[in-house]
Structure formats: structure tokens, C-alpha cells
Amino acid sequence: MDFLPINIDDMNKRGWEQCDFVFVTGDAYVDHSSFGAAILSRLLERYGYKVGIIAQPDWKDINSFKKLGEPRLGFLINSGNIDSMVNHYTTFKKRRHKDEYSPGGKPNLRPDRALTVYANKIREAYKNAPIIIGGIEASLRRLSHYDYWSDSVRRSVLLDAGANLLVYGMGEKAIIEIAEALDSGIPVDEVTFINGTVYKTKDKDRAYEPIFLPKFDEVASSKRKYADSFKMQYENTDAKSGKTLVEQYDSIYVVQNPPMESLKEQELDDVYDLDYMMDYHPIYANSGGIPALEEIKFSITSVRGCFGGCNFCALNFHQGTIVQSRSHDSIIKEAEKMTQDKDFKGYIHDVGGPTANFRIKACNKQEKYGACKNKSCLAPQKCSNLIVDHEDYVELLRKVRNLEGVKKVFVRSGIRYDYVMYDKNDDFMKELCAHHVSGQLRTAPEHVSNRVLRQMGKPPIKIYNQFVKKFYEESKKINKEQYIVPYFISSHPGSTLKDAIELAEYIRDMGYIPEQVQDFYPTPGTLSTCMYYTGINPLTDEEVFVPKEIEERKMQRALLQYTKRENYELVLKALKKENRYDLIGNDPKCLIRQRN
């Protein structure tokens, strides 16, 4: 077992004259199951294909894309585990100084809009080579989308990249079907029949039983049309009920085939049982390694998919809402392998996924009909069909923590506290407090104003308060001093200064100030981003207040850390603007003191 070839010498050692596929990625080469490029390249390898890796090529030098030669079947491209624009810029559009997915955290080793830049460079180098794009950047930009960084509606990245085919979602099944089609001699532009893919055509009749979205010109010029289009896309993200969607660009039609069906348990086990090195390539050893690997190297992905329904999360458009779980045996096997690693100290940092405590499908009907189009499982209230059961997850955690060589198993990927509170069995809460908290449990209430929480797709704050109370009660029973660290978002669509002040008062009553807060980030593919751009909730058709002015966003953020000296003037201005002079002064309930 070894890393896949990254240069001609590596190919020669394997006796290869030509790769079947060359995978170009915006991340450093990390052969670990948390990296999409590693998963798909190892999966293709298992099916007998020869795959080479070009990681973080110099996009200004065409020879960087020629280092492995032209592949027999095509180039595969992703921009990395994170959208390149999110990777590069803060919510206030300031350039980040570190890239966790690059050697030593060095920034600027990938371009802005990396997917488009890489694909166009490859087209320049190899005019007729098939180009297939995928990953999070492709998945969330597969049709027209609002782009926060340019403050405009951009067209499908398939067109900007000049690629032949786009894979959306997790991609394992689609990439194998694509490989088999190309290997059988089918021209890439004729590969239009695979679910989980997007293609372009001048013949709209190629699409099977399509739903026609508003034309690109319409969504680019009308926020109402944009909201309508988003709703149609939102309602067709499930593999069992999703339809073919077509978006017209003058004489070209971009066709999104229905989503690929999710992996079954055995299929998911097989993905995580591939021959990963579970490390970064040795070429990065002298550069400080890859920071992103440090936290995940000893973490285990237990599930995919999430039925939580948070409106600011892109999972609905990428992984989907149907939970897919790995078997206990597969997870135990991975944990046992970890214990043999020379760097393992006995601590497994996480056994989770998008939501750690979702291990089963939301309800029985999802098996036959898929996820509901217009109904949420958890918010604003629990669906009567929701199955609430932590038994399987509790059993899994017990097995992992009892393995020889394992000292502690943490749960860090986040839990849905409302799901915990709906469980009539307290075993999970008891075991969480007793065995799986590292002193602090991170939770995500996101806000406290029920008006804002409704636009976020989150439950009422009273449920979070009940969870907090129960957590501290259970911790006290076992004589453990451990704390909850909440995560809040400022300036989400629907949040006014009044709501931000309500959140600040809640923080005051908690007795401590959060070290980190997040200003809402309008990333592609989320319902919240649609609200941010249009001022419309596309699911309810109601108008939504959006705090877009930079000063107001700064005031809302400052209120979450009102004790910081540098935030004083912003907090003072916000309180005066809302006539909350009662919060300015020397009373213990005041947020800030009145300066002379």
C-alpha cells in the first residue's frame, strides 16, 4: 500500500505508461477518508482504474497540469474540501491569513474560484480531454446561484469551468458509473444518463420528464424569480422524489439529473474500508504537515446526511437529509487501526458526522418515499412521525471506548440538543456527561430570539434551556465540573438590532462572553443565503428583514462580545438606536457603563 502517483517517477515505479484519470485538487494531497479526492481516487483504484494526483498545481504555469501527462479517460477536478472563496475570505470579505488544507497552513496556494481556473487551464493544455468537476464548490454552484463575493447571481459553474460533466453530492456511485461509461467508449458529451450529475446541451428534449426552472436571465434580474427557482431546487434534492431540473442559458440548457441514491450500510462501509494511508503525503513533512489533518486524524465518521434542517447549512443540497450509517463493525475496525498508529495517544476525538447523534433515518416512510419536501423533522416543532432513539449510538460509543488502547472517546461534531430532549430514555445524556465530554461541550443554539430561530430552521430557545439545565444536573450527579459552550450567529436574515440585544442580554445572564462568534456567511446553496439575497423566505413566501449594511452587521456582532473594549462604541450606538438606555450604566444588568 502506498500513496497514489504524483509524478512520472511514481508512475514508472508502478509500471504505468498512462493514468486512466488524473485528479486535480485544491487541497494538499492527504490520503484520508475525510478528503473527497482521496475517497474517489481510492474507490476508482479498487475498480481497477489507474489514478494520479495533482495537488495544488501552480495555476499560472500550464506545465503544472501536464506533470502526469494526458489521462486515458479524463481529468477529475475539485477545489478541495471547502469552497475556495469561503476558504480565502472572512464574512467581511477580508483575506484569510491561513489555509488549514495547505502545507504548514500557508495561504494562497490555490486560486479564487479554483474549480473554474483549474478546468480552464486543463482545457488550454489538453483541448479534447474530458473534464469532470465535483466536490463542494461544484455541488453548491451547479445551477445559477447568488455569489456573495461579487454580490451577483452567477451562472452554473459547469459553464464557467468549460467542463463536460459536473458531479454533485457525495459522488461515489456517480464517479464509478461515469468511469465505466467512458471506459466502454461512450463519448463524454453522451454521458447524460447518470443520476447525481449535471450536463449541458443544446437539445432540451434530452432531459427526461424535466421541470423547467426560470431562465438564467430571469433569476439574474428578478429576486422573485430567484426565490421561485430556489424553492423548486430545494424541493428536488431527494433521490426518491427529486425530478430532472433544466435551466436555460440562451441557446444552452443546463440539465441536472435527479440525485443519486444514497449509499447503503455495506456500501458506506466499503468506502471507509478502502486502502487509505490515513496521512498526508511525505512531501509535506518539512513544511509543517497539513493542519486540517490534526483534528480529524483520530476522528471517525459514523454517519452521513442530516435531517436537522438548519437553513444556513448546505447539507440539504450536498449530502442530503437521509441519514446513512456505517456498521458498528466497520467503525470498530477503523478505531482498532487507529490504536496502532505511532502518534495515537489513546484519545479518539470524535465519533460523529454532520450531527453526531443521528444514527437512524428520521422516520419509517423515508425508506419508501424519501424525505418530505415541505416539512421539517425538528423545527419549529417535532414531526409526529419522527423516531427518537439513541440506543444504537449509545451502544456504538460503549464499544469504541472499551477497546484496548482507547482511553477516551469524545463527541465533538455537534449534537442536536432538541433530539436529545425528545428522547424519553436518558441513557444518552447520562453517558455523554459521564464519558464523552472533554470538559466543555460545544452546542449550537445559534440565537435566542424565536423570531430569528424560525428563519434559521431551529427550535424555540426554551428547548435549548431545558437541555442546558439537564446537562448541568447530570454533571452534578456524577461530580464532574464541565461546561456548555454555545455557538451563536449574528446578522442572520430576520435578525434585527432588537433581536441582537436580546441575544446580548442572554449572554449576560449566562455569566461569560463567548470567545468566538460568527457573523452570518451567505455561502452558495443554502436557504438562508436565498433569504439574504432576495429578502424572501422562498418556502413561506414571506418578506424577511436582512441586515446588510456593514455598520449594522458590525453592531450585531459587537453585541455578542459587548465587554470587549474595542466594541464599546458599536454597542453604545446600537443601544441608543434601540432606545435601550436601561442597558447603559452601572447597574449589574447593564451591558456597558456610561462614560463621562
Residues 429, 322 share a domain:
yes
In terms of Cβ atoms closer than 10 Å to its own Cβ (0-12, 13-18, 19+), residue 541 is exposed
Instruction: State pLDDT tens for residues 64-90.
Output: 999 999 999 999 999 999 999 999 999
Whether residues 274 and 378 fall in one domain: no
Q: What is the pLDDT of residues 145-180, one digit of tens each?
A: 999 999 999 999 999 999 999 999 999 999 999 999
Q: Looking at 252, 274, 289, which one is the last position of a domain?
A: 289
Query: What torsion, rounded to 10 degrees, do the Cα atoms 508, 509, 510, 511 define?
Result: 70
Interaxial angle between packed helices 391-401 and 328-339, expressed in degrees from 0 to 180 and rounded to the nearest 10: 20
Residue 512 has a pLDDT of 87
Average pLDDT, integer, range 279-285: 97
Whether residues 269 and 352 share a domain: the answer is: no
- Say if residue 95 is in the same domain as residue 24: yes
* pLDDT given for residue 495 in this prediction: 98
Q: Are residues 281 and 307 in the same domain?
A: no
**pLDDT, tens digit (0-9, with 9 covering 90-100), for 319-368:** 889 999 999 999 999 999 999 999 999 999 999 999 999 999 999 999 88
Residue-level pLDDT at 52: 98
Going through 269-367 in order, the beta strands assigned E by DSSP cover 279-280, 299-301, 303-304, 324-325, 347-348, 350-352
Q: What is the 3-state secondary structure (H, E, C) of 235-264?
A: CCCCCCCCCEEEEEECCEEEEECCCCCCCC
- Contacts of residue 543, defined as CB under 8 A and 6 or more positions apart, other chains included, come to 535, 536
Q: Does residue 7 lie within any of the structural domains?
A: yes
Beta strands in 68-206, from DSSP E residues, in sequence order: 74-78, 131-133, 145-147, 152-154, 165-167, 197-201
In a domain, 112, yes or no: yes
Q: Are 487 and 445 in contact (CB under 8 A)?
A: yes
In this structure, the answer to whether residues 280 and 363 fall within a common structural domain is no
The answer to whether residue 210 is domain-embedded is no
User: 276 and 415 in one domain?
Assistant: no
- List the grid coordinates of 332: 470498530
Residue 222 has pLDDT above 70, yes or no: yes
pLDDT of residue 596: 67
pLDDT on residue 517: 85
- Answer yes or no: are the C-beta atoms of 571 and 591 closer than 8 Å: yes
Number of domains in the chain: 2
Do 274 and 391 lie in one domain? The reply is no
User: If you average pLDDT over every residue of the chain, what do you get?
Assistant: 96
25 touches 87 (CB < 8 A): no
**Could you read off the pLDDT of 467-514 as tens digits, one per residue?**
999 999 999 999 999 999 999 999 999 999 999 999 999 999 999 888
Sequence-ordered list of residues with C-beta below 8 angstroms from that of 131, at least 6 positions apart, any chain: 74, 75, 77, 119, 122, 123, 161, 162, 163, 164, 165
pTM score of the predicted model: 0.95
Whole-number Å distance between alpha carbons of 96 and 111 = 13
Final residue in a domain of this structure, among 273, 289, 305 = 289
pLDDT digits (tens, 9 = 90+) for 100-131: 999 999 999 999 999 999 999 999 999 999 99
One domain for residues 423 and 277: no
The CATH number assigned to the domain holding 312 equals: 3.80.30.20
User: Any idea what DSSP says for residue 17?
Assistant: S
Determine, yes or no, domain membership for 215: no
| Domain-embedded: residue 168 | no
| Across 210-214, 436-440, 592-596, least confident range | 592-596
Domain membership of residue 10 (yes or no) is yes
* Domain extent at residue 127: 1-139+265-289
400 in a domain, yes or no? Answer: yes
Q: At what angle do helices 265-272 and 328-339 cross, to 10 degrees?
A: 10
Question: Nearest 5°: phi and psi at 308?
Answer: -65, -35
Residues in the chain: 596
pLDDT band at 414 (very low <50, low <70, confident <90, very high): confident
Identity of residue 159: L
Contact, 375 vs 309, CB < 8 A? Answer: no
Distance CA 16, CA 1 (A): 16
> Is residue 373's pLDDT more than 80?
yes
One domain for residues 389 and 277: no
With respect to residue 552, please indicate whether it lies within any of the assigned structural domains: yes
* Same domain (yes/no): 370, 431: yes
Burial class (CB in 10 A: 0-12, 13-18, 19+), 430: middle
Per residue in 26-42, pLDDT tens? 999 999 999 999 999 99
Percent of the chain with pLDDT over 70: 100
Question: Are residues 279 and 301 both part of a single domain?
Answer: no
- Residue 319 CA to residue 91 CA, distance in Å, equals 24
Burial of 176 (0-12, 13-18, 19+ CB in 10 A): middle
**Structural contact between residues 355 and 416, judged by C-beta atoms closer than 8 angstroms:** yes
Distance, CA of 40 to CA of 48 (rounded, Å): 13
User: Comparing 455 with 516, which gets the higher pLDDT?
Assistant: 455
237 in Cβ contact with 259 (< 8 Å): yes
Q: Which amino acid belongs to residue 503?
A: L
Region 195-215: mean pLDDT is: 96
